[in-house]
Structure 1
């Protein structure tokens, strides 16, 4: 996040999974980009219920899974993998009307 601080200046809220609970993560995000962290937890009753904000995250992962190259870590450098994710989302945006 430090490297992309300038690009993330407009981010106001970061939606995260329950695995990112804790003061360390929230305080580092607040310090680096000045955004609030909101943890979207799943339903504890294990019944299907659409949680609006969690749905956004799950839908995004679903779109990424349609790209075969992202299924396995076949890239040698992390920067190449990050670019493949960016290209995948670019494809999603271009298909929208």
Structure 2
């Protein structure tokens, strides 16, 4: 509910971009970022700015090359995005935040119920698109294309 307390809590007008993390949000996300690898050089990039750049791309839908210049270079932001996707860091961050939100609402960490609509049940009974052998689909489609092509000559 939008009370005066909640409006102040969710106000993002004082941030550089609405997608930037607040100090409280960074307090949750920062510890979940893995440390720099051993044996390499010291990490010279500000990880909060990398996350802010990533959040900017995700919230605006802009292209990687259109990241504003006040974020780290696009290659750096994308490099961390690619690495964290590969090693599971983004999934771990999502899971930890998901559990924290559920527990803050007084719920169990993992849901215990699921909602299934009648349409899902119908498609599962028929087998859905997965049950159709792909080889048959391809053969039918290519035969149809060749018949159409020959009939137009």
Same fold (TM over 0.5): no
Q: Give the structure with higher Rg (CA).
A: 2
Higher strand share: 1
Work out which structure has the larger RCO, using CA pairs closer than 8 Å and 6 or more positions apart in sequence: 1
Higher helix share: 2
With structure 1 as the length reference, what TM-score do the two structures score?
0.33
With structure 2 as the length reference, what TM-score do the two structures score?
0.24
